[in-house]
Chains A and B, each alone.
Chain A
C-alpha cells in the first residue's frame, strides 16, 4: 500500500505503474484458485525411507540416461544433490538436531498453480494443464533460461552440453500417464505410501487430517498450500520445512509480483508520447517566441536608426541652408560695402588731384578677379 502511494508520488512513470497495477491484476487473475479438479501429490517425509525407488521409476518412465551409480546405491544420499537435465527428481537426506534418524525428502517440480516459469517464458513454452501438471514444449523454447531465474524452487534445468538442441528439462508430473488414467511413476512405485496422488483439494483434506490426528508427529504447516501462490505438490513434515531445504517462499504468485511492472507498459505507451510531444511543442514555442522577439528588436532598431538618420540629415540641411543664407548676406554686404567704397572713391577722386585717383581705380579690377 505504501509502495503504491509512493509510486504515485514519483510522477509520470510512477503514476503509470501505480495505476496500471489494478487493471493488470484483474486481467492476470492473480487470485486464480487453480483448476477445480487439478490433481497433485502429497509427500509425507515422516513416511519416506530414502530408498530411491521413485528416482528409478522416474528414470524408466521418462527414458532418462542411466546415472553413474546404481539406484540401489544409497551412499549417493550422503551428498546433497539437485535435479538436472538427466534427473527429474532426487531424494535428499537431512540430519536434524534432536533426531537420531535422518529425514528424507523428495524434490522435483512443484507444479505451481500459477507457475513462475510459465509466466516468465517469452514464447509460452510452458503450459499449466487442467490436470494440474506444468509441461514444457521444446519446439518453442529459445533457450534464454529466464524460467530458471524465475522459478522460486530452482527447478528447471538446462542441457548445457548440447550445442544444437539444448532444452529445458523438468518433471512433468507424468502428464502423459495421467491422461491415460495411470498414476505418476514415482507414486505408483513408492513402497511406504509416502506419496499420495489425488485431487489437490482432497490432498489438503488428507494432510489436515493427519496433522489433526497426530499433532506430535507433524508441524502445522502444509508446504505448498500457499507457497508461491500455491503448488500442486504438497508436503508434510515432522520438522520445520526449512530444515529440509525447503526455502521460505512468499505467498505471492509470479503474476502478482510482476503485474505492476507489466501494467505500466500500456500507460507508458499512452502517456509518454503525449508528454514528449508537449515538451517538444513547448520548446518549439519558446523558440518561436524568442525568434519573434528578436525580429521585433531588429525592426525597432532599424526604425530608430532611420529616425536618427533623418534628424541628422535635416539638421545638416538646415545648417546648410543657414550657411548659404549667411554666405549670401555676407556677399551682399561685401558687394554693398564695395559699391559704397567705390562710390566714395569715385567721389574722392572727383574732388582730389588726378594722381591719387589713378591708383585707386587700378586696384579694384584686381580684387574682382
Chain B
C-alpha cells in the first residue's frame, strides 16, 4: 500500500503500461485490417499461436481450478482449502481471457455464440469444446464470485453462492474432463496432417491426463510466484498450508506423469512408430518425453521424498513448460509435417505481441484482484464460514 502511494510508476508498472498500449494498437490493427494483416496464417496453416498458445495452453494451464477444488471438496483433502481460491481465481481469469483471445482468431468474432444459440454442429468436437468452455466460464465465475462479494460486502448473496460449492465443483470436473480431452480430440480428425509420433486415437486421454499435470504444476508454480510478489497479502493459514499443498500436488503430478509416459510408449509401440525416432521429429519427440515428462516426474518424486520445496518448484517449471511444448508440437511443430519447409508456418511478431498482451492482461487483473479481494487470505468477517 505504502509503495503505491510513493510512486505508481514502478519499473514493472511501466512495462505493463507499455505492453498494454502496444496491445491496444495491435488490436485496432487486427479488427480494422483483418487477420491477414497481423498474422502469418495461410490456407495450409489456418491455426497458429493464437490457437496453439492462447487456447490450447491457456485452457490446460487453467486446469488448476478443477484439480484443486476437486481435491479439496470432493476428495476431502481439507488441507488444500487455502489453495482453492487462488486456483479458482486464476482459472476463471484464464478461461475468461481464452475467450477474449479467441475473438482475435475468429473471422466473425461476433458470431461466437452461434454454435450455442443458432445452429448446433453437434458432430463437431469443436462444438463440444465451445459448449463446455462457455458453461465452465460461467461456473468458474460463480465459484469465484464469493471473493468479490465479500469484498463488496454482499453477505446474503455470498452465503447463497457458498451453498452451491458442491454441485458447482462436480459440474466443474465434468466440464473440464470433457473439454480438456476434446481439445486433444480436435486433432483426431487429421491423421494425415499430424506426425504419427503425436497422432493417436488416444489424444483425448493424453490431453486430459496432461491437463491434470498442468493444473498441479501451475498451482505450485503460481504459489512460488505469489509468495515472492504478494507475500504480505497472505494470511497465516495460507502460509502454513502452502508447503503441504505444494508437496501434495507434486506427488499427484509425479504419478500422473509416470502413467502418461507409459501409455505414450504403449501407444507408439502399438502403432509401431519406433522407426520415426531416428528422424528429426523423433529427436523432438524424445526431448518432449525425456525432458518434459520423465524429468519432471523424477524431480517431483524426489522433491516429495526429500521434502525439498525448491526441487518441487523446479519440477513445476518443467511441468508448465512441458505442457506448452506438447501443445505446440501437436498444433504447430508436428502439424503439417509433410509440407515442404517453405509452406510451413512461423508466427508473425504481431501474433506473438497479441499473445503477450493477453497474458499481461491476465497478470494485471490477477494482481488487482489479489490486492483488493480476499483471495490469499480469509476475510475476517467470514472466518469458519466454509
Which residues of A approach B to under 8 Å, CB–CB? 2-3, 6-7, 10, 13-14, 17, 28, 82-85, 116, 118-125, 140-146, 148-150, 152, 154, 156-163, 165-167, 247-250, 252, 254-255, 257-258, 260-262, 264-265, 268-269, 272-273, 276-277, 279-280, 282-284, 286-287
Bound form: Cα–Cα A366–B45 in Å: 124
A residues within 8 A CB of B189? 116, 119-120, 149-150, 254, 257-258
Q: Are B31 and A163 in contact (CB under 8 A)?
A: yes
A residues within 8 A CB of B41? 160
Bound form: Cα–Cα A255–B108 in Å: 26
- Show 22 A/B contacts (Cβ-Cβ < 8 Å), sorted by A: A10-B205, A118-B123, A120-B189, A122-B121, A123-B114, A123-B121, A125-B121, A144-B126, A148-B43, A158-B46, A160-B39, A163-B34, A166-B35, A258-B185, A260-B201, A261-B181, A261-B188, A264-B204, A265-B178, A268-B178, A273-B170, A276-B169
Q: Are B35 and A160 in contact (CB under 8 A)?
A: yes
Q: Are A142 and B76 in contact (CB under 8 A)?
A: no
* Min CB gap A168→B, angstroms: 8
A residues within 8 A CB of B266? 6
Interface size class of B (residues with CB under 8 A): 35 or more
The residue on B at minimum CB distance from A269 is: B174
Q: Are B127 and A122 in contact (CB under 8 A)?
A: yes
Q: Are B126 and A146 in contact (CB under 8 A)?
A: yes
Q: Could you say which of A28, A273, A284 contacts B123, with CB atoms under 8 Å apart?
A: A28
Q: Which of B67-75, B145-153, B233-241 contacts A (4 or more CB under 8 A)?
A: B67-75
B residues within 8 A CB of A116? 189
Q: Which of B190-198, B275-283, B293-301, B375-383 contacts A (4 or more CB under 8 A)?
A: B190-198
Known: A3-B270, A142-B107, A277-B170. A124 touches B46 (CB 8 A): no
Q: Are A165 and B108 in contact (CB under 8 A)?
A: yes
A residues within 8 A CB of B119? 123-125, 140
A residues within 8 A CB of B201? 3, 257, 260
Does B286 sit within 8 A of A, measured CB to CB? Answer: no
Majority SS at the chain B contact face: helix
* Min CB gap B57→A, angstroms: 17
Q: Are A120 and B192 in contact (CB under 8 A)?
A: no
Bound form: Cα–Cα A142–B107 in Å: 6
A residues within 8 A CB of B124? 119-122, 146
Q: Are A150 and B190 in contact (CB under 8 A)?
A: yes
Bound form: Cα–Cα A156–B31 in Å: 23
Bound form: Cα–Cα A280–B171 in Å: 13
Q: Could you say which of B46, B47, B108 contacts A141, with CB atoms under 8 Å apart?
A: B108
Does B7 sit within 8 A of A, measured CB to CB? Answer: no
Which residues of B approach A to under 8 Å, CB–CB? 31-37, 39, 41-44, 46-47, 70, 73-76, 105-109, 111-112, 114-115, 118-121, 123-128, 130, 166, 169-171, 173-174, 177-178, 181-182, 185-193, 201-202, 204-205, 208, 263, 266, 270, 338
Bound form: Cα–Cα A276–B73 in Å: 10
A residues within 8 A CB of B46? 145, 148-149, 158
Bound form: Cα–Cα A120–B182 in Å: 12
Known: A10-B205, A262-B123, A272-B174. A161 touches B34 (CB 8 A): yes
Known: A145-B47, A152-B192. A262 touches B186 (CB 8 A): no
Q: Are B125 and A13 in contact (CB under 8 A)?
A: no
Bound form: Cα–Cα A212–B180 in Å: 51
A residues within 8 A CB of B115? 122-123, 142
Bound form: Cα–Cα A83–B43 in Å: 8
* Min CB gap A164→B, angstroms: 8
Q: Could you say which of B111, B126, B192, B270 contacts A247, with CB atoms under 8 Å apart?
A: B192
B residues within 8 A CB of A125? 119, 121
B residues within 8 A CB of A268? 174, 177-178
Q: Are A149 and B33 in contact (CB under 8 A)?
A: no
Bound form: Cα–Cα A104–B202 in Å: 39
A residues within 8 A CB of B263? 10
The residue on B at minimum CB distance from A12 is: B177
The residue on A at minimum CB distance from B119 is: A123
The residue on B at minimum CB distance from A248 is: B192
